[in-house]
Structure 1
Amino acid sequence: MSETTDAAAGAARRMLSKVPEVTVWFWVIKILCTTVGETFADWIDTSLGIGLTGTALLFTVVLAAVLGWQLRLSRYVPFVYWLTVVVVSVTGTLYTDILTDRLDVPLAVSTSVFAVLLAVVFGIWYARERTLSIHSIVTLPREMFYWLAVLVTFALGTAAGDWTLQLTGWGPGASVLLPAVLIVSVVVGRRLGANAVLAFWLAYILTRPLGANLGDWFASPTGEHGLGLGTAVTSVVFLLAISAVVAYLTFSRSDVIADPQQRPEPEGVANPVRERIMLGFYALVAVVAAGVLVWASGRPHALTSDEPTAGPATTAMGPGRAAAHFPATEVAKFRAITQDTVSKVQAGQQAAATTRIKDLETLWDRDQDTLQPMDRTGWEVLDHKIDIALKALRTKSPDAATETQALTDLLTALG
């Protein structure tokens, strides 16, 4: 009687799978969600003026609400699941930004910490459930472990991606290539017999920097080797793409995992020998990637002597003249970010300053379509000074005096 009751209770606690099948659509929408999530976070941070900490608190509350909705469901619902992924991606990114910008934790340290934390999550998950397969997400504890792992992978992907850009100084287009090549390597390894769970989570981590860098490439001005769409257009394009894919998945149900008890036996059986060989292959790829980063970090990506200098209009304008025709509220945001960056430089917080100036770049690019028609000359003057400041902070061997001078010149131009 007791065994029958326990079995019935166990069956009652089991649900249909709460996550989608891993198809090509899974990876497409995962990358799209990553891009939109980061862009939306930037918009909240720069437009509403609530600051990074306020934005993180806001999204933590939103995450709790959305995740609660997801956990209450008894089956996979595409809209709710992918909404949760977007919010988790934003929240994980913000947590990394807080470590870098507010607590001045070096990106190398935060990357290492998140990697260890992810290993701990996986270790506890496996010790309790004896599986890490997403096909086994049919109980509440497993789903909780799953979402915790997803949150940490986004934070880890953000830290690792930002650290890579800091080391290499790569532009938007080039920065897409490394995570893309690594993802291809993961796929090849899986096809040749790598462990399915390992391959899945490696790809999941790598799609975070890929999606973010892809968004930067689309949004960055053509003068910075981007496609020049701007953050607003990029966000709309990716959001429409997400909506289309989610609608397709909702009606087609092509990514719904069948009841695990009714699933057919897998066609292939894990081969321990092949898994070990492919583990060695992944290790080799990691070594090669590290070598590429070391090589790239050693190459000069500083401000060169033939960098274009300011034209007559730049030198002729007095303090504040360049920004005189722009909305005061927007100019105030530019000044606040620039002043904050100066403070970080003077405090010796180089990593935090480099990350903070990215907020200025994002806000400036987003407002280009609005500000440039108001005063093209003023916009060009400020754009040039922002470029100088960006290059001063992103050089391989930054000099505090040069950075401070570039930022001070920008503050003077802003008025």
Structure 2
Amino acid sequence: MLNKVPEVTLYFWLIKILCTTVGETAADYLNDTLGFGLTNTSLLMAGLLAAALVVQFKVRRYVPSVYWIAVVLISVVGTLITDNLTDNLGMSLWISTGAFSLALAATFAGWYSLERTLSIHSITSLRREAFYWLAVLFTFALGTAAGDLFGEKLNFGYGPSVLIFGAMIAAVTIAWSKLGLNAITAFWAAYILTRPLGASIGDLTSQSTSNGGLGLGTTGTSFIFLTAILALVGYLTLSGADQTTSDAVLEPDLA
């Protein structure tokens, strides 16, 4: 099969952040605004994610609409996993952040021990794709827990949290471009950090002004960001601007 994920371009990061924001606000919209409840929302979205991943695994190449639908749904499910642990099971955000960090590290360790690479430019087999999506799921769950920890438990607030995680991503970018940080390490570090960044943006835009937000609500925020995702994915589908040039490994393996 050809490489199953897009080229890492500015479009990739824009859509990724938009998806993470939707993951935060859509989960709240279904759970609270529509009154589905946390359990029913979790079951519904897990079923939709399973269906989306079946389609994603069946296609033999990267298809923008199929891939990004899976990312949107996995962002919602990752949010709901953390919410279930916190709200239904009473798990501390400190513990869930640590647990998801360990789960992600174990996923990377297993992936690298079997494949000798963590490059997303070499998702060309079923096993590599399975590791990839498992890692993505844990990044979303971890990012949700870390974002909530900073924004709520540590009382940084939504706006400052956006600035903090944005600065962390900028630091990773500088370390990669100027200081020689390994490209794969830099990618996954930025990928993890975009989740709490997007979650903080979602909270900032959706929460009421009395709680430090902009007051757009989960409905308005979800609509705006979903519309932006659809527009960008539509453009990429027509232009092919994020298609990989080949199925070769284009990044060096982690030493």
TM range (shorter): over 0.9
In the TM superposition, 1:58-73 aligns within 5 A as 58-73=44-59
The answer on 1:28 being equivalent to 2:30 is no
Q: 1:142 aligns with which of 128, 132, 145?
A: 128
Q: TM-score normalised to the size of structure 1?
A: 0.59
What is the percentage of aligned positions where both structures have the same residue? 55
Q: Which residue does the alignment assign to 1:332? A: none
**Aligned equivalents of 1:113, 1:36: Cα separation in 2:** 24
The answer on 1:172 being equivalent to 2:154 is no
**Aligned equivalents of 2:254, 2:44: Cα separation in 1:** 46
Q: Which residue does the alignment assign to 1:44? A: 30
Give aligned pairs, total: 254
Q: TM-score normalised to the size of structure 2?
A: 0.94
**Aligned equivalents of 2:254, 2:59: Cα separation in 1:** 36
Q: CA-to-partner distance for each residue in 1:37-74, whole Å, 9 max, x for gaps?
A: 22111111124433212211111111110000100000
Q: 1:254 aligns with which of 230, 241, 245?
A: 241
Determine if contact 1:17/1:258 at 8 Å carries over to the other structure.
Answer: no
Bigger Rg over Cα: 1
Deviation at 1:171, TM superposition (A): 2.5
In the TM superposition, 1:200-239 aligns within 5 A as 200-239=187-226
Deviation at 1:270, TM superposition (A): 8.9
Query: What is the RMSD computed on CA atoms of the aligned residues?
Result: 1.9
**Aligned equivalents of 2:166, 2:127: Cα separation in 1:** 33
In the TM superposition, 1:178-327 aligns within 5 A as 178-192=164-178, 193-261=180-248
The answer on 1:156 being equivalent to 2:139 is no
The answer on 1:133 being equivalent to 2:100 is no
Which letter maps to 2:8? V
Which letter maps to 2:193? L
Please give the secondary structure, in 1, of the residue aligned with 2:13. Answer: helix
Determine if contact 1:38/1:90 at 8 Å carries over to the other structure.
Answer: yes
RCO higher in structure (CA 8 A, sep ≥6): 2
Deviation at 1:260, TM superposition (A): 2.7
Which letter maps to 2:133? W
The answer on 1:118 being equivalent to 2:91 is no
**Aligned equivalents of 1:271, 1:147: Cα separation in 2:** 19
Q: Which residue does the alignment assign to 2:93? A: 107
Deviation at 1:271, TM superposition (A): 11
In structure 1, list runs of 5 or more residues that go unmatched: 1-14, 273-415
In structure 2, list runs of 5 or more residues that go unmatched: none
CA 1:236–1:255: 2 relative to 1, 3 Å: same
Deviation at 1:217, TM superposition (A): 1.5
Please give the secondary structure, in 2, of the residue aligned with 1:17. Answer: coil
CA 1:77–1:270: 2 relative to 1, 3 Å: closer
Deviation at 1:221, TM superposition (A): 3.0
Determine if contact 1:172/1:220 at 8 Å carries over to the other structure.
Answer: no
